[in-house]
Structure 1
């Protein structure tokens, strides 16, 4: 019986090591790409583990795609032609990998140090890498996700400020991804699917024909950084232009965010039917 337990234990350990090796393979290839000096050869390496929607962010760059990553590395070597990379042990958890790294010159002098955080897609490819420049970096996975969450909060807060307070559509336009979708409930007089910021502005103008709006309660923010989603809850005080009546209505708005841009918004009214009837009612 002990022999059976021991054999099972060995199989379990071997399985864990195999899983870890599978997760580390794209990171090993990624590091190999950084060590390759020839641009064409490097691009071939990059394409084996990098997708056109994969992203790279650090204090010097924020890019997407294989050619863009290759260009980042090319530019680095123009400034640091004799750079040598070294990296520390990899920490693997689910589809996340993090590790410390250093860049030395030909005289073994430290050029730069930091920590990278990678998200894998489970198919042997890298979907995102975020690089932190700091020789003392000790960020955990949860702390890095929290940083992403804060950045998403900032984007949504800026959108909210621009729309409801400053009416700054120029600033707002820079927060919206081209082709972003705004979904309004079909039961509303301005309901429908609006694609692209120009269509969004038409929707704002059409909704303004039905009511004046004040913010009764400022938003509360919630987020899931692993899904790049932010949800805000707030209460509006509206005055219907047809009837002159007022109504308080809690609202939640769900934001999808990708690469620092809003890609979709879905508002949910506490009682959509009541709100639609309120807007259409006459004196």
Structure 2
């Protein structure tokens, strides 16, 4: 295993986010193929999402990532990354993303930042840990109100 350089980490992340934008523009899960994203993720990648989110939990490997994108696509009608900043040192990268998204269940539009700690090894992403500013606001926007009795 070789250590990623800062340049390689930024190259991998830039490529992955471009592929993700293409994936989402093509209609996301069910309409676009995860094959657009798979080359950027190690076969044993781990994604750690906050448990409070509708797509929370640990997602492992390519199949886990495929399932994550299906779940996330079921939650969000649109999920636009409007601005991104990258900071990478070797195999460790931090990405600050501003998001504008519309929830399927409520139609609510939410704007929020996500800070992701990402590890890149051997030219692929091996771990992703997203941190949301307010998981409750995200979960609330994605939850339809209970029917009145």
Band the TM-score falls in, shorter-chain normalisation: 0.7 to 0.9
Which aligned pairs between 1:182-201 and structure 2 lie closer than 5 A? Answer: 182-201=47-66
- 1:93-113 deviation per Cα after TM superposition (whole angstroms, max 9, x unaligned): xxxxxxxxxxxxxxxxxxxxx
249, 253, 259: which one aligns with 2:122 = 259
What is the CA distance between 1:216 and its match in structure 2? Answer: 5.2
2:13 is equivalent to residue 156 of structure 1: yes
Deviations 1:172-226 (Å, cap 9, x if unpaired)? 211211111011110111111011011111111111111122425221001122x
Q: CA deviation at 1:282?
A: 3.2
Distance between the aligned counterparts of 1:263 and 1:278, measured in 2?
A: 30
Aligned to 2:131: 268
TM-score, normalised to structure 1, is 0.45
Which has the greater radius of gyration? 1
Q: Would you say 1:176 and 2:41 are equivalent positions?
A: yes
Pair 1:149–1:251, CA change in 2 (3 A)? same
Number of aligned residue pairs: 137
Q: Distance in 2 between the 1:255 and 1:216 partners?
A: 17
In structure 1, stretches of 5+ residues that fail to align are 1-52, 56-127, 129-144
Q: How does 1:39-58 map to 2 (within 5 A)?
A: 53=1, 55=2
**Residue-by-residue CA offset, 1:146-173 (whole Å, 9 max, x unaligned):** xx2111101011111111x111632421
| Aligned partners of 1:256 and 1:262 also within 8 Å | yes
The CA distance in 2 between the partners of 1:267 and 1:151, in whole Å, is: 21
SS of residue paired to 2:37: helix
- Give the helix-richer structure, 1 or 2: 1
Distance in structure 2 (CA, Å) of the matches to 1:171 and 1:243 = 29
Unaligned regions of 5+ residues in structure 2, if any? 24-32
